[in-house]
Structure 1
Amino acid sequence: MTDRKPCKVCNFTRQKSYGVVVPSLDELKLKGSEFLGFSPGQPVTVVLDNDGTIVEDQAYFLCLPLDTKFMLLHEKEKWSPVRRVDGGTAWMARDSMLVEADTVDASSAAAPWLDLAQQLKRDLASIILMSDEDLQTLVDAPSIELASAVGFQEKKAQDLQETLQRVLDRREEERQSKELLQLYLKAAEKEGGQQADQSRPGQEEAGDLGVETMEVDSGSGFVSRTLMVLKGKTSPETRLSTEDLQMVVTRGVEAMERVLGLDRTRTSVLLQACEAELTGRLQQIQAVQSIRGSAQLDGSRGSS
């Protein structure tokens, strides 16, 4: 007869822990399930409590030291490392009896994306205000658990993550475009300054002041505040309101060239930057409205 082996068993929250003496891995599952209050015949997975290693082999079980602690998991439960809070004086845990098929398991309750998911559940428009790090955290979250936290079907959660990834990609493209624009404007400004020094020394300062304080004629449609922002040296398009961007794009290159006093090439680059900024903002708004509309449609279907 196989020697009986003293072991410890716990549930996945580690709130319940018992000592048992069993001769085999199968007996550990049976006796451990009984002590932990699992339903008879319910399939369980045995893992090592300290690192989550799955234990399925009887020979391996017998080779483990005495008093090894095992964790018994249901189908939807997952092993997670011990999490300390309050400087190590308390343990992060939740009662496994409260976990149901349509809720997020406790292993993900402490996940960094959960608070962000709750923000999305309250208002999907909060996507626009989230940092790149927050968006990446949501993209990397398990889709099935994210779906449960936000109240979506899994497919809808996957669509949401794809939308968030597109937002991240667009932000990166915008950053690269702005860096190129800044390099170009710096080079153009340097070249223009050298030409001005050679042809009209002493007039550059007066010219700049004239543009910044220019009173715009009624035909141009521009206001002084907008012109001063456009005259900015670093990504001026990012400091304009959406309404101002629409006005700039509508007026076109010739109007901007006339009121700003810039050459055609530099004016065209600035206009393209404004168009890209406006397009990015409108795409963000459309993405949020699309997601919000889908969520409302899912909600109406679920209630009917």
Structure 2
Amino acid sequence: MSEIKPCKVCNCTRQKSYGVVVVTLKQLKVKGREALGYDADTSVSVVLDDDGTVVEDEAYFLCLPPHTKFMFLQDKEMWTPAKRYDGGTAWLRQSFDVSSDAVDSTHGGVEPWCSLAEQLKHDMASIVLMSETELESLVAVPCSVLASALAFPEQKTQDLQKTLQKVLDRKEEARQSKELLQLYLKVVEKERRQELQQGETASHEVDGTERASAAGFNTRTLQVLKSKTSPETRLSNEELQMVLKQGMTVMMKELGWDTDRTTLLLQDCKKELSKRLQQVQAMQSLRDYSQCRGSTFNSKTTEPHEKEVVNKCKK
């Protein structure tokens, strides 16, 4: 079911304008005639008030937005653009003859470019306000037809169309530049999101390191412990003692290992620490023995004193 569409209707002079609510184009014609005071059997053509486009297709009517304004034209009536003002000076409408290609006498409508030509005739500066579609319509008009509508010589009209084409080209370049800029901004935004995601990942990793260090281990110690080959040989005595002090439960949590792997690590650390202690004790014994021998053979003390030193070394 079609939606109800609020519309506006006016006569060719725009002195009468009314609002109606309709569903179809047929209903618009009926209510429009009634609102404007036309007889029910009066033949009318419906055109868009903005540009004079003839509306005779139901599907096209349904595509138009709500509150569109329609002009009802009776026989021999023609659409003309509304008066416009610039700086307090009216854009006067003057009658001019155009070729039969410009006028559709069946519907009583005028080609949209005619209103644009009227604007150019009175104000060339209006070119800058025209859309690409409007510029294209003026460029597409045969030079002789446009010259007749503007009352310009053909050479001047030809130069005008070249100028319109240049303006159209600049608008196209600006549109393409805008699209490229939008594409660039999308790429920059995508890269920025990726950097933020990487930053969040790095932040999570840092947080994980801080949690691992909460037990007293620094980052290097944890990295060494997680290495694959003999981590205990690369730890200091203090670090080995810390590992053994933490015990099975803490080390499993810190390293994220299972019981077997953690047990093996603790055993290796214990053996390594024990071996180092034995080496230290052996070195200390050799040092003490060397000191005793040096005192026996190099000292020039009396014999009773030498015997006392030897006895001490034996002990």
Which is greater in Rg? 2
Relative contact order, higher structure (CA 8 A, sep 6+): 1
State the TM-score, normalizing by the size of structure 2.
Answer: 0.31
